[in-house]
Amino acid sequence: MPKEPAPIETRRIVEEAWNRGVILATASALPNVIKIKPPLIIEEAEVSLVLDVLADCLKAVFPRR
């Protein structure tokens, strides 16, 4: 299976994260790239939360992978 950019799926991941309270963005020049821009000071628990939400969003958008 060839790997192709997936801008539609990327947008869905960003929307899922928003609905779960995590703000992500897509790169304007590369709409299949997810940007994560944490604050300069961030707690380990906050990093874990964002990664957990991202993992859940990936599972929601790509349920069979």
- Alpha-carbon distances of 5 from 2, 19, 26, 46, 52, rounded to whole Å: 10, 23, 13, 29, 23
Domain hosting 39: range is: 7-61
Task: Note whether residue 25 is domain-resident.
Answer: yes
Residue 1 lies in a domain: no
Encode pLDDT of 5-33 as tens digits. Answer: 899 999 999 999 999 999 999 988 889 99
SS3 7: helix
- The answer to the question of residue 48 being in a domain is yes
2 within a domain of the structure (yes/no) = no
Q: How many domains does the chain have?
A: 1
With a cut of 80, say whether residue 65 has pLDDT above it: no
Three-state DSSP at 50 gives: helix
Count of residues in the chain? 65
The answer to whether 20 and 52 are in contact (CB under 8 A) is no
pLDDT confidence of 50, banded at 50, 70, 90? very high
